[in-house]
Amino acid sequence: MTLIFAVVALMAPAAVNWGWIQNPTEFLSNPIHDPPSWQHWFGTNRLGYDVFARTLVASRVAWQVVILATALSMVVGVPLGMLSGYLGGRMDRVLLFLMDAIYTLPGLLLSITLAFVVGKGVLNAAIALSISYVPQYYRVVRNHTVSVKTELFIEAARALGADPPTVLSRYLFLNVIQSVPVLFTLNAADAILVLGGLGFLGLGLPEEVPEWGHDLRQALEALPTGIWWTALFPGGTMTLMVVGLSFLGEGLNQFVNPKLRQGS
């Protein structure tokens, strides 16, 4: 399922350029709130946009923001976790306090606050989302580093004269990142929901950019009049993508931790 959404996201701009689907930002001449038909598979919304085109192109926008957000949080959280766990001392205590303080804040509330500060845009939305995920990478990697740094092969490397950068990059890194891909997929699923929440509130991305949260906000006004398709297709697609990423994360978790399969 996740692979299907990835392929759709890659192909969506080409499909628009080749005329396979409508331009998601182009007003249609007459159809407004037209139900699904052969001409408009998912119908049209109250602004005259083709819902099918917007739903497909929004998947690409979601992938862009989510991958950027999780990558930024990983790039910051993983090195900090390794340094904190390996060096310990005052640096470890300060970082633990800072990360715990961020971790206690609700992710959506923190993202909303940051979205007000950094403004709208793909990169800005990714930054707003990424801050709340940094402590998760930090805590996981730090705890692994604390347990691995006392292993005999680490002690042997230090005894042979390996400096801290060498120990961290050659001996610790590959041994402490097993859980990072699992965390990446789970954070990606959560980031899609948070991005949708920001869009629903009118934050995160500019209004003209196709995004599921924006479309759901527009659909909310039409639902009482029986216009169901403008909410069903964007909301259903977002739900399927979140479910697919969650299953992928669970599968990776069982692959990385074989004891989970044995326990089941």
Whether residue 84 contacts residue 138, with contact meaning beta carbons closer than 8 Å, is answered with yes
pLDDT band of residue 141 (cuts 50, 70, 90) is: very high
Query: What structural domains and CATH numbers belong to the chain?
Result: 41-263 (1.10.3720.10)
Q: What percent of the chain has pLDDT over 90?
A: 15
pLDDT at 262: 54
Q: Residue range 2-22: average pLDDT?
A: 66
pLDDT band of residue 28 (cuts 50, 70, 90) is: low
Return d(Cα 172, Cα 145) in angstroms, integer: 7
- 111: helix, strand or coil: helix
pLDDT band of residue 55 (cuts 50, 70, 90) is: confident
Over 90: is that where the pLDDT of 78 sits? yes
Over 50: is that where the pLDDT of 264 sits? no
Q: To 5 degrees, how large is the angle CA 5–CA 260–CA 193?
A: 35
Residue type, 51: V
- 151-208 pLDDT, tens digit per residue, is 888 888 888 888 888 888 888 888 888 778 888 888 888 999 999 988 888 888 887 7
- 106-129 pLDDT, tens digit per residue, is 888 888 888 888 888 888 889 989
- Residue 44 DSSP class: B
- pTM for this prediction: 0.83
Q: In the predicted model, what is the mean pLDDT of the chain? A: 82
- Write down the H helix ranges in the chain: 2-17, 51-87, 89-103, 107-118, 122-130, 134-148, 152-159, 164-166, 173-176, 180-200, 212-222, 229-256, 258-263
Q: Residue range 220-249: average pLDDT?
A: 85
